[in-house]
Structure 1
């Protein structure tokens, strides 16, 4: 929940005013996108922790490789979504587009982590 509050404040949308079932303003839509990302990020963090535990069970080298891959993936996600948001640079859509991009990529990464050691 703390991450959701931080994300909502950073995006300029008060957490307590969100009606994400039917957002009516751009600010509400942006706030809801930020909340969606915060939820996806929390799920990713939980999935990463479980995957890290499985990697550690296979040895320090595998755990280190996973850590390096995750760090590189975060840099990729942030850069890719920044690039996507630049289509709307300076406009009210930019933060929403970036948050939606981060949500989508984060959800995909969670699924990738979930499957990483599935068949091993």
Structure 2
């Protein structure tokens, strides 16, 4: 029998994959529509973050949608993105960019899951 924690982690990864596919598609769409990669990334991340909140609240953690959950999720997501970018900027100087990206993404996934499970959706 699989533990409830394992099942939640599995749903977190599935939601993350869906969120990433939708967010990346949004970035590409906005890039084609607006022609500005910076603006497209901002809109894509906002769109992806919103989808992430919906999937993690409703599917991953099976929680109620609330203002408190939304604020907590958003703060964790924003700080995670910030830490991800800082870590990537630091690592890219010392290791291959692909390895740096993998480490930064791994950090973001771990950071997000831990804080969401312990703070937002406890």
What is the TM-score normalised by the length of structure 2? Answer: 0.41
Higher percent of residues as helix: 2
State which structure, 1 or 2, has the greater radius of gyration over its C-alpha atoms.
Answer: 1
What is the TM-score normalised by the length of structure 1? Answer: 0.41
Answer 1 or 2: higher relative contact order, Cα 8 Å, separation at least 6. 1
